[in-house]
Structure 1
Amino acid sequence: MNIRNQLVTYKPYNEQEEKDREVMIRYIDTFPDTLTRNNEFAHFTASAWIVNHDHSKVLMAYHNIYQSWAWIGGHADGDPDLLHVALKETGEETGLKDFTPLSEEIYSLEILGVDGHVKKGKHVATHVHLNVTYLIEADENEITAIKPDENSAIQWMALDEAVEKSSEPYMKIIYQKLNDKLKTYAGV
């Protein structure tokens, strides 16, 4: 199923997700190439909210660009299977080998503003991430590894601690939403 169809069938959790879903669908219908960074204003990304087996902890990375504890994720870079992107990023950014999506369905939606920054020596203009999040489960006892060009630490944290340790005000709201949703998520 393509991303537009997934967005159409997705049931938003709250007003933020409803509005973001509407904007994402409208953006797909209006602009070409939303799956690559060639669309410099807005493009799709996928994130993973990685929880341990009893769903009491989440795996966070200390993100080098944002200088904040953050979830795992990355750009679609042309891949229309955003679950695949989230799983690929989980392995690359954490070193985990054994992890599983709790569902193939979208867990959460967010439109995220990204301030201009320098990455790999090049300026990246301010833009927007059309982000799709998936719920991933992993063993908190498995050895993790940093990805030095993206993060400088990986740590399992209690759900509330993950919100508290983020230094990005809007991301605190998103992480709290993910935690609240986890408590009521069907099948979890």
Structure 2
Amino acid sequence: MEEIRAAIEKYQPFNEQEERDKSEMLWQIDHVKDLLTRKNRNAHFTVSAWIVSPDRKQVLMAYHNIYQSFAWLGGHADGDADFKHVISKEIQEESGLTDFKFVSDDIFSLEILTVDGHIKRGSYVSSHLHLNVTYLIEADPELPIRIKPDENSAIAWIPVDELKNKVNEVWFYNWIYQKLIDKIKQF
């Protein structure tokens, strides 16, 4: 956890949401156990990818079966403290995309996300928090992609200016995806 803490400590927040979430993540790291595994049922680390085309005009999104909305790719750390490894694995599993690059080794975004209770693989998962670290990834929209039927029912490159019409989670679009769109303009 020392490397994760150092990376989060180094991160420069983009806005008030990130400033507050960074502070809370650091507190969680310093005071709570098992943040890298789902053994901590209240809060645990996840990693997401904001995957953009080289011209930054499209973003790769999956239609998430649980949330019934287009969403970024990502997943749980599940004990792996190498977050770049975690997100690389998740991108390949969720989209079939194998040729992509990290625009930077540094964290691109931080957010603490609420997860409502839901059914996953036949069992109820209680509401909890995802302490999420996001990386900026670039890939070619012409490369082959595929769905992962147990998690998503579509995967598509969506023009950034059409994203609002594809995301059914209003809070998520307004607070997370719009922030990422704005950050790309400055990157």
Instruction: Give the TM-score normalised by the residue count of structure 1.
Output: 0.96
Counterparts of residues 108-123 of structure 1 (less than 5 Å): 108-123=109-124
Counterparts of residues 29-40 of structure 1 (less than 5 Å): 29-40=30-41
Q: How many residues align?
A: 185
1:81, distance to aligned residue in structure 2 (A):
1.1
Counterparts of residues 1-188 of structure 1 (less than 5 Å): 2-173=3-174, 174-185=176-187
Question: What is the distance in 2 between the residues matched to 1:27 and 1:164?
Answer: 35
Q: Report if aligned partners of 1:164, 1:172 keep a CA contact under 8 Å in 2.
A: no
Q: AA paired with 1:26?
A: W
Question: What is the distance in 2 between the residues matched to 1:168 and 1:102?
Answer: 27
After the TM superposition, which parts of structure 1 deviate over 2 Å for at least 4 consecutive aligned residues? Answer: none
Q: Tell me the C-alpha RMSD between the 2 structures.
A: 0.9
Question: What is the distance in 1 between the residues matched to 2:106 and 2:148?
Answer: 27
Question: What is the distance in 1 between the residues matched to 2:20 and 2:81?
Answer: 22
Identity of aligned residues (%): 58
Which structure 2 segments of 5+ residues have no match?
none
Q: Report if aligned partners of 1:60, 1:162 keep a CA contact under 8 Å in 2.
A: no
* 1:36-72 deviations in Å (ceiling 9; x for gaps): 0000000000000000111110001000000000000
* 1:68-110 deviations in Å (ceiling 9; x for gaps): 0000000000010112111111111011111011011000001
1:165, distance to aligned residue in structure 2 (A):
1.2
Q: Report if aligned partners of 1:51, 1:137 keep a CA contact under 8 Å in 2.
A: yes
Q: AA paired with 1:35?
A: L
Q: Report if aligned partners of 1:36, 1:78 keep a CA contact under 8 Å in 2.
A: yes
Question: What is the distance in 1 between the residues matched to 2:145 and 2:28?
Answer: 37
Of 165-174 and 103-112, deviating more is: 165-174
Q: AA paired with 2:186?
A: T
Question: What is the distance in 2 between the residues matched to 1:182 and 1:164?
Answer: 19
Question: What is the distance in 1 between the residues matched to 2:165 and 2:28?
Answer: 32
* 1:11-43 deviations in Å (ceiling 9; x for gaps): 001110000000000011111110000000000
Question: What is the distance in 2 between the residues matched to 1:161 and 1:29?
Answer: 40
1:164, distance to aligned residue in structure 2 (A):
2.8
Q: Report if aligned partners of 1:116, 1:127 keep a CA contact under 8 Å in 2.
A: yes
